[in-house]
Amino acid sequence: MEKKYLISLIGVLVSFLLFSCAERPVIHEHAFILLTHYQEMSLGDEAAREILKKEKLVKNPKIVKKVKRVFDRLIKALPPKFQKLYDWKVYVIDKDIINAFALPNGNIFVYKGLIDFVKNDDQLAAVLGHEIAHVILRHGAEKVSQALLAQLGGYILLSKVSPAERELAAKLYNLGINVAFLLPYSRKQEKEADIVGILIMMRAGYNPDEAIKLWEKMVEKFEKKEPPEWLSDHPASKERLDYIKKVVEFLRKHPQYVEKFEIPQKLLEVD
Ligand SMILES: [Zn+2]
């Protein structure tokens, strides 16, 4: 009797996990995502509303136009399916922080400090491409799903958020919005976003060598022990720079992947 009960319980669990396994686009692997696309979108919408209420945006039309121009070119280079799937918008927050983050609905926030840090449009495209990749790969929804599964309390969540985002996270959390998407990404997620981000910038015709230069600059700053804020979520390491170089080289040699918007498994394994 007990055994029977156990077997049916396992059955329920297995089907629960099977139904919750989504296939991650572009890199085609299974991902544990409990949220539907609709939930992902409304979670992002709610968070965006609160962020826009609280943060001061950059008004300087020169800066806003430049960021929008690069962002639009990247979005237009996505396959039509992904262009339509999200509410693609970019905002520049008027704070001198070298950071950027993406909400699961396709709203991307860049701090003014990061705009000053990048040297040209190609470097800006590298940062924005990376954030767009997090959205398409559903990394935010994945983090929320993992947090739901672990039933993390707010205090645990907040302790893991980078200082720049803690205040924002606390506010959203108090409003009952699940803030797990603000948690740092895992190394695996970061690597996936790096790779797919380069794929996106190359589709849009930006020079991926500038992504390498940007990371060299980050590593240099990191070694001087003055890591910009972005690095708390995006550790700059020699290893990271090394695989980014390999990814650029591979995609240049195999433009069919850029065309198809696909990443082969072997590229995810480079280190
Ligand atoms: Zn990232």
- Phi/psi for 49 (5° steps) reads -55, -45
What confidence score (pLDDT) does residue 129 get? 98
- With b for 16 or more beta-carbon neighbours within 10 A and e for fewer, the 39-75 pattern comes to ebbebbebbbeebeeeeeebeeeebbeebeebbebbb
What residue has token string 């590298």? 126
Of the pLDDT bands very low, low, confident and very high (cuts 50, 70, 90), residue 228 is low
Tell me which of 8-12, 78-82, 172-176, 218-222 is least confident. Answer: 8-12
Distance (Å) from CA 234 to ligand 1 centroid: 6
Distance (Å) from CA 254 to ligand 1 centroid: 24
Comparing C-alpha atoms, which of 138, 177, 108 is closest to residue 35? 138
186 versus 115: the higher-pLDDT residue is: 115
Sign, CA dihedral 72-75-80-86, equals negative
- Between CA 44 and CA 128 the distance in angstroms is 17
Distance (Å) from CA 162 to ligand 1 centroid: 13
Pairing of strands 21-24, 29-32: antiparallel
Which residues crowd ion ligand 1, with CB under 5 Å? 193
In the chain, domain spans: 22-268
What confidence score (pLDDT) does residue 151 get? 55
Q: What is the pLDDT of residues 141-188, one digit of tens each?
A: 888 887 776 655 555 555 666 676 677 776 666 666 666 777 778 888
Q: Residue 184: is it exposed, middle or buried by C-beta count within 10 angstroms (0-12/13-18/19+)?
A: middle
Could you write out the DSSP letters of every residue in 71-113? HHHHHHTS-HHHHHHS--EEEEE-S----EEE-TTSEEEEEHH
pTM score = 0.83
Res 212 pLDDT > 50: yes
Residues annotated as catalytic (active site), given as ranges: 131
Q: How far apart are the first and last CA of the chain?
A: 51
Distance (Å) from CA 229 to ligand 1 centroid: 12
Question: What does R_g of the chain's alpha carbons equal in angstroms?
Answer: 19
**Average model confidence (pLDDT) for the chain?**
84
